[in-house]
Chain A
């Protein structure tokens, strides 16, 4: 393992960033294609309207361009490859699937265009460092702004709801607020079955139904803590990345982001968002900071291994007792 990281660290830092980005781009369409093939609703496939061929065409093209870049160092250092990838991702995620695309798909698209511009500069590594830093800062800045201006967030409703209905927060709700598996499953049943019965609601839609979700006495307090903790840490990351005040500041910047990613993305299985943040932050790390670069590279692997392996199952089994 040590040799593996030594080898990675001895590579050109920018090339490592480019390779990881291409890996992310090449993996992403594969997953999307599988999703297209498997999305079924109670009354048939979701994409049975003929538009799916465009998604397939674009996603296969993206995967081919991504794999070509991984195989060819010359290709991945060309601006054309990154603009092509950015363009394909923009068509798939921003234009064709704007209503469905998760945030990380937009960020990957911006990052690819940014790398394209960087490859046209005399010092692409410096350009990528600036772009990565600004994008990480803005992602967290905009997310924090969204939260502090959302009444449903500030009053604790959002986390209260997520803690009692979202599997990603179950372990925390169970360990810290005594929320049980039975309660969680009863709530999921309400959300997936009871609320999905529109025919019950006819003929009038005026407050004809109110479904109770199960909770515990400690959930509201935990929700308030998470609400303000999230604002604090996301806001801090935004400030640390958007403002530049020398080396000590820079150490705090990466330290806080590493802590946030380590504690947030693996248990919640948010792999792609975690990966793109790691990649952009890695681009912003000075090449001589080997330990910080090692930490990001380790995190890149750890996010995937944790989310996709027995570790996550063990974590949830432990949480469920």
Chain B
């Protein structure tokens, strides 16, 4: 029988269990990706495909909005662990970016200025509000279909100044 040689060694399995409980809580309650976060949920659930769609408004028009390059990491955090609070933070950061309007196939759309070098005459735009929708694809094994469904209520963030 191999007994624990020192009581302080129990700290290690205790931390593992604590992290696993925290991860499971977040996976069940706050939409954390079940494969991530140190809880050993890999291959225990269909890996969710979360989608972030954004539309911004300059006061008159709505535009489909891409995630700026400088916010890629935050965007990935948001899609791995989407929460309403994180959506609000992300939305507020979106409004603080330096946006310009460039022409596209479906009309004008905003990009951050650093990505508009091919459009020197692009007009700056002040975005007044942004609406974020987090949705997911759910696998239906009976029909073998990926069904699209909302994950969180839409979050709209308005410019305060």
Contact = CB atoms under 8 A, between A and B. Distances in A.
Nearest to A270: B42
B39 A207 contact: no
Interface residues of B, number: 65
A244 B9 CA distance: 17
Interface stretch (A6-14, A16-24, A63-71, A147-155): A147-155
Contacts of B85: none
Interface of B is mostly: mixed
Contact of A129 (B2, B20, B32, B133): B2
Given A113-B12, A199-B64, A210-B148, A49 B19 contact: no
Interface stretch (A25-33, A98-106, A291-299, A304-312): A98-106
B61 interface: no
B77 to A, nearest CB: 5
B6 A102 contact: no
A226 B100 CA distance: 52
A45 B42 contact: no
A198 B51 contact: yes
A156 to B, nearest CB: 6
B125 interface: no
A230 interface: yes
A36 to B, nearest CB: 11
Interface residues of A, number: 78
Contact of A110 (B1, B15, B55): B15
A150 B45 contact: yes
A171 to B, nearest CB: 16
B139 A143 contact: no
A123 B5 contact: yes
Contact of A139 (B40, B44, B76): B40
Interface in B51-89: 51-53, 55, 64, 66-67, 69-74, 76-77, 80-81
Given A48-B72, A147-B44, A135 B148 contact: no
Interface string B15-59: 111011000100000001111111111111111010111010000
Interface string A214-240: 110000100100000010000000000
A220 B12 contact: no
Interface in A134-181: 134-135, 138-139, 142-143, 146-147, 150, 152-153, 155-162, 164
Interface stretch (A114-122, A254-262, A313-321): A114-122
Given A155-B141, A157-B141, A205-B133, A130 B20 contact: no
Interface of B: 1-6, 8-9, 11-13, 15-17, 19-20, 24, 32-47, 49, 51-53, 55, 64, 66-67, 69-74, 76-77, 80-81, 115, 133, 135, 137, 139, 141, 143-150
